[in-house]
């Protein structure tokens, strides 16, 4: 027995290959990298111009793999973007470079966490992944109030870990469930459109974002008010959000831009038409990003302007209005009223998918 053990250990000692893992920190330059690893500068000079530009801009914290044989450099792999890496090979004392795809391997993982302290802490403790928390909040934000999660809430997640060697590069949540004694919300990633839907085929995301911007406060709500400039009682048919000039303004829903320009009183504005008889107005803008024009289709979240002070305005703010079937409605009251639901062929394909998925993963949910 002892003999056998010794025999098994020998190959480990005579193994001459070693992989070094180096981090590309913010002080690294490609020259610095070559110098540190005793590689000739000619590697850089001989690169095509386009590649030179890439290697001068390698993102900080990228992971470099270096293979050595008997302490001699054999090969290096340096990622230049999320898909491609630069390979440097030493052969007969000559160096060769090549661009090759980065090979990722995907591993499916499962985790179930009971929230005892708070979401980010408990999720991190169970998975050692800090990005999961944000992803979960993003998926469920329109359905679940994360500030008031009841005691004993459990979160189950099935996710794919995308790895380059041993390093986790990305995480894709394919299923998640938040459950407590008051409610249970399920989110399936629909492979057809990459959006999350529940077991009834309703989108987890409301039709509207909660607000079109990050704001510091609301200076004027929807309703009657004494107008600060006109000094008269007037109906305020929108909501005024305050923040700094230049704050990006996002379209609150998918739609088509139907107006871009100056509106009396409102200043620089954008109007977007959405499904189900909705129209939104973004006013007092400072300006618009490039590529915003009448007729353009925008997605929920697209930046359509920047907060400003144009038109009849007492200070930098966004006037945000929502019209439904020709009538102004309170933008703060509609956030989750309308759900995007799958219909027809898309719905059948989604249900075929989740039927299979729940069976394979032993998930016990009543499907419609």
Question: What separation in angstroms does the CA of 316 have from each of 108, 130, 263, 284?
Answer: 48, 36, 17, 8
Q: Is 217 exposed, middle or buried (0-12, 13-18, 19+ CB in 10 A)?
A: exposed
Q: How far apart are CA 231 and CA 251, in angstroms?
A: 31
- The separation between the first and the last C-alpha atoms of the chain, rounded to the nearest angstrom, is 60
241 is a contact residue toward Zn ion (CB under 5 A): no
Between 119-127 and 131-140, two packed helices, what is the crossing angle to 10 degrees? 130
Residue 223 or residue 291: which is nearer to Zn ion going by CB? 223
Asked whether the CA dihedral 233, 235, 239, 243 is positive or negative, the reply is: negative
Residue 268 or residue 319: which is nearer to Zn ion going by CB? 319
Which range touches Zn ion (CB under 5 A), out of 25-33, 106-114, 131-139, 319-327?
A: 319-327
Asked whether the CA dihedral 350, 352, 186, 109 is positive or negative, the reply is: negative
Which range touches Zn ion (CB under 5 A), out of 19-27, 117-125, 240-248, 271-279?
A: 240-248
User: Closest distance between Zn ion and the C-beta of residue 149, in Å?
Assistant: 34
Which range touches Zn ion (CB under 5 A), out of 47-55, 84-92, 249-257, 311-319?
A: 311-319
Whether the Cβ atoms of residue 156 and residue 176 lie closer than 8 Å to each other: yes
User: Closest distance between Zn ion and the C-beta of residue 333, in Å?
Assistant: 16
User: Closest distance between Zn ion and the C-beta of residue 280, in Å?
Assistant: 13
Name the region of 299 (left: φ>0; alpha: ψ -120 to 50; beta: rest): beta
User: Closest distance between Zn ion and the C-beta of residue 239, in Å?
Assistant: 7
353 SS3 class: helix
Which range touches Zn ion (CB under 5 A), out of 115-123, 265-273, 316-324, 332-340?
A: 316-324
Site for Zn ion in 19-78 (CB under 5 A): none
Residue 174 or residue 332: which is nearer to Zn ion going by CB? 332
Phi, psi of 31 (to 5 degrees): -60, -45
Enumerate the H helices of 128-270 as residue ranges: 131-140
User: Closest distance between Zn ion and the C-beta of residue 234, in Å?
Assistant: 10
Site for Zn ion in 107-166 (CB under 5 A): none
Residue 40 or residue 315: which is nearer to Zn ion going by CB? 315
Residue nearest to Zn ion (CB): 319
Residue 62 or residue 240: which is nearer to Zn ion going by CB? 240
41 SS3 class: coil
Site size toward Zn ion, by CB under 5 A: 3
Which range touches Zn ion (CB under 5 A), out of 199-207, 221-229, 236-244, 249-257?
A: 236-244
Whether the Cβ atoms of residue 248 and residue 213 lie closer than 8 Å to each other: yes
Site string for Zn ion, 163-202 (x = CB under 5 A): ----------------------------------------
240 is a contact residue toward Zn ion (CB under 5 A): yes
**Ranges assigned E (strand) in 7-143:** 17-24, 62-69, 72-79, 84-91, 94-101, 105-114
Which range touches Zn ion (CB under 5 A), out of 15-23, 54-62, 200-208, 230-238?
A: 230-238
Q: How far apart are CA 19 and CA 17, in angstroms?
A: 7
User: Closest distance between Zn ion and the C-beta of residue 32, in Å?
Assistant: 54
User: Closest distance between Zn ion and the C-beta of residue 321, in Å?
Assistant: 8
Residue 102 or residue 312: which is nearer to Zn ion going by CB? 312
Site for Zn ion in 275-294 (CB under 5 A): none
Give me 235's structure tokens: 């109906």
Which range touches Zn ion (CB under 5 A), out of 95-103, 149-157, 225-233, 317-325?
A: 317-325
Q: How far apart are CA 165 and CA 102, in angstroms?
A: 10
The residues that bridge with 65 in the sheet, in sequence order, are: 21, 77
User: Closest distance between Zn ion and the C-beta of residue 275, in Å?
Assistant: 25
Site for Zn ion in 322-351 (CB under 5 A): none
155 SS3 class: strand
319 is a contact residue toward Zn ion (CB under 5 A): yes
Residues that bind Zn ion (CB under 5 A): 238, 240, 319
């Amino acid at each position: 027995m002892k003999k056998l053990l010794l025999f098994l250990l020998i190959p480990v000692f005579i193994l001459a290959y070693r992989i070094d893992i180096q981090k590309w920190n913010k002080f690294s330059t490609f020259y610095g990298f070559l110098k540190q690893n005793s590689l000739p500068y000619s590697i850089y000079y001989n690169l095509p111009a386009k590649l030179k530009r890439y290697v001068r801009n390698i993102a900080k914290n990228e992971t470099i793999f270096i293979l050595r044989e008997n302490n001699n450099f054999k090969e290096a792999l340096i990622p230049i973007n999320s898909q491609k890496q630069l390979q440097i090979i030493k052969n007969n004392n000559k160096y060769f470079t090549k661009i090759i795809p980065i090979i990722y391997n995907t591993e499916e993982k499962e985790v179930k966490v009971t929230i005892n302290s708070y979401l980010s802490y408990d999720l991190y403790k169970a998975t050692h992944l800090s990005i999961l928390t944000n992803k979960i909040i993003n998926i469920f934000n329109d359905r679940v109030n994360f500030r008031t999660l009841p005691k004993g809430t459990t979160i189950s997640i099935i996710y794919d870990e995308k790895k380059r060697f041993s390093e986790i590069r990305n995480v894709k949540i394919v299923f998640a469930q938040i459950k407590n004694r008051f409610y249970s919300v399920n989110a399936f990633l629909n492979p057809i459109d990459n959006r999350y839907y529940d077991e009834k085929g309703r989108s987890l995301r409301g039709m509207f974002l909660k607000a079109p911007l990050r704001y510091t406060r609301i200076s004027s709500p929807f309703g009657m008010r004494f107008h600060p400039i006109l000094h008269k009682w007037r109906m305020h048919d929108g909501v005024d959000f305050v923040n700094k000039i230049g704050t990006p303004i996002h379209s609150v829903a998918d739609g088509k831009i139907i107006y871009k320009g100056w509106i009396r009183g409102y200043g620089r504005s954008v109007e977007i038409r959405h499904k189900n008889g909705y129209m939104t107005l973004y006013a007092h803008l400072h300006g618009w990003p490039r590529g915003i024009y009448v007729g353009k289709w925008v997605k929920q979240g697209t930046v359509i302007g920047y907060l400003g002070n144009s038109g009849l305005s007492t200070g930098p703010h966004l006037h945000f209005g929502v019209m439904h079937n020709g009538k102004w409605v309170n933008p703060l009251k509609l956030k989750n009223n309308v759900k995007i639901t799958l219909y027809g062929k898309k719905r059948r394909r989604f249900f075929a998918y989740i039927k299979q998925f729940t069976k394979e993963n032993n998930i016990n949910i009543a499907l419609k």
